[in-house]
Amino acid sequence: MLTIVFPCNGQRINSVNENTLKINNVIELNYSISAVTAIIGQPTSISSEYWETIEENVENHNYSNNIFQFVDGELKSFKLCSSEYSLKLGSYTLEIGSFIEELQSIFPYSFINKSDGYMAININDGDYQYILIEYDLIDYSIKSIEHRFY
């Protein structure tokens, strides 16, 4: 007999509403490839991969190490790594190069549970999406902002 025990006091992290996420105060999830291209131009390269979780092919648009991922022509995920991109989370704008400490009062539960250079913010409570923030362990500056799925 195999017994699996789950802790009852799971880590709590903050969440934001998906409808408030905006890259550079404009681009939203589900934007079309043509809409994103009209705003930020042509990607430096395009590649594809298969996401087993949704059994779909994903088109990766690379903009100088910033990745925008499209499924069926709609933006479904992204990874921002340069200061030319920011992410609006509700009323707060998160920028590459800013300091992780700035998030302590805005997302206190996520901040308390950050570890090893990463911090997570859920998208829509109980949903399967989250924002993963990578920060430098020496100067605590934000290195990347990524939309992910559980």
Per-residue b or e along 110-128, where b marks 16 or more CB atoms closer than 10 Å to that residue's CB: bbeebeeeebbbbbeeeee
Which residue do the tokens 């704008």 mark? 93
Give the C-alpha separation, 94 to 142, whole Å.
Answer: 9
49-55 contacts, C-beta under 8 A, 24 or more apart: 53/149
The CATH code of the domain at 15-149 is 3.40.33.10
pLDDT tens-digit series, residues 52-67: 888 889 999 999 989 9
- Residue 6 is predicted with a pLDDT of 33
Indicate whether 5 pLDDT > 50. no
Percent of the chain with pLDDT over 90: 79
